[in-house]
Amino acid sequence: MGRRVVKLAPWITGLALVVGVTWIGQAHAYEAWVTNQEDHTVTVIDTETNTVLDTITPGGKKPHNVAFSPDGAHAFVANVASNDVNMIETKTRKVIATFPAGIRAHGLAVAPDGKQLWVANPGSNDVTVIDLQLRQTIDTIPVGKAPALVVFDPKGARAFVSNGGSGDLSVIDAKSRKIITTIEAGKGAMGTDITWDGKLLLVTAGDVDRIDVIDAISHQVKARIPREGEPHGLVLSPDGKRAYVGSRKANVVSIVDCKQLKIIKDIPAGKRIDIITITPDGRRLYVTSRDTNTVIAIDTLTEKVVAEIPVGKDPHGIAVLPASHH
């Protein structure tokens, strides 16, 4: 594949600053969807130009996190103040359904086969399971205290729920929806992701300033990596070689080498940064910066900030949708 150079023209609008960046290989366009809690909106960003494409008002109160169906046809927005989830058609960006969830609907994930949506509810200490074909709740699973996020293994056989209040992970059989085991993790367990091969699971523990690395097959802890400054959001690179962790108080994105199981670099970014996501090609990170009402874009090749994009008030959740689904 040949070398292609794409330069983003410098521009300044308020806090926004975009600088030139060089990509190797073919450039791809994606959309980053950002939930803005204080103005109850969702901002849609073009990741090729780092500009805002649209602002959606789904109707829920304090949209907190967003996730997509595997085929990219639908987005799901969890609302912590209205205890529900908006289902949005990504092509039209219109709300087509709203599902009740538990108290303070927080983190959510769609099963790999696209048939179910699982929602972690920290206010009611449970997970709501929604059948997306029937478009109705089919189960409520009690878990630990203050569950934050749900992540499925790549085959969809198990779900892992990070419980911030009890400092552990609930491992759930996705078919029977029964808890298989509980893995000890640090207090404030939150940001969770699993490698593409389903072997390694990482979770942040903000209350005790560390990142836990867990063997997802044996459920044994492999390492506990210290990271001062309340590590919170976490995402793995598509190849599973690196994890990127945003720390709220330190205002840095830490790069974790998943082979060495240690932090190899910190990238300064934003103020009270929260959730972090990565484009499917692994080339850019996007992290919400709550106190600046912006999203920070980071080039993973140069490991530098390339844009700061103004969004709504108190941005929190963020996820990337491949634009090719349109």
Closest CA to 34 of 61, 60, 59, 63: 63
Task: Give the Å distances, CA to CA, from 286 to 66, 169, 297.
Answer: 14, 26, 5
Please, what sign has the CA dihedral across residues 108, 288, 290, 75? negative
Is the Cβ–Cβ distance between 188 and 169 less than 8 Å? no
Q: What is the pLDDT of residues 175-216, one digit of tens each?
A: 999 999 999 998 999 999 999 999 999 999 999 999 999 999
CA-CA distance, 87 to 97, in Å (whole number)?
A: 5
- Taking the alpha carbons at both ends of the chain, their separation in whole angstroms is 25
Please, what sign has the CA dihedral across residues 255, 68, 321, 50? negative
What pLDDT score does 28 carry?
64
What pLDDT score does 263 carry?
97
Closest CA to 324 of 68, 114, 108, 88: 68
| DSSP for residue 247 | E
What pLDDT score does 110 carry?
97
What pLDDT score does 29 carry?
83
DSSP letter string, 11-55: EEETTEEE------S----EEEEEEETTTTEEEEEETTTTEEEEE
CA-CA distance, 88 to 152, in Å (whole number)?
A: 21
Any residues with CB less than 8 A from the CB of 217 and at least 6 apart, and which?
198, 199
Pairing of strands 16-18, 11-13: antiparallel
CA-CA distance, 51 to 11, in Å (whole number)?
A: 11
List own/partner pairs for 15-20 with CB under 8 A and 24 or more apart: 15/292, 15/293, 15/294, 15/308, 15/310, 16/294, 16/307, 16/308, 16/309, 16/310, 17/307, 17/308, 18/50, 18/306, 18/307, 19/306, 19/307
Q: What is the pLDDT of residues 222-234, one digit of tens each?
A: 999 999 999 999 9
Segments of the chain with pLDDT less than 70: 1-28, 323-326
Single-letter amino acid code for the residue at 63: P
Is the Cβ–Cβ distance between 79 and 93 less than 8 Å? no
Single-letter amino acid code for the residue at 222: K
CA-CA distance, 88 to 158, in Å (whole number)?
A: 26
CA-CA distance, 78 to 99, in Å (whole number)?
A: 9
CA angle (244, 289, 311) in 5-degree steps: 120
DSSP letter string, 200-239: EEEEEEGGGTEEEEEETTT--EEEEEE-SS-EEEEEE-TT
DSSP letter string, 147-178: EEEEEE-TTSSEEEEEETTTTEEEEEETTTTE
What pLDDT score does 144 carry?
97
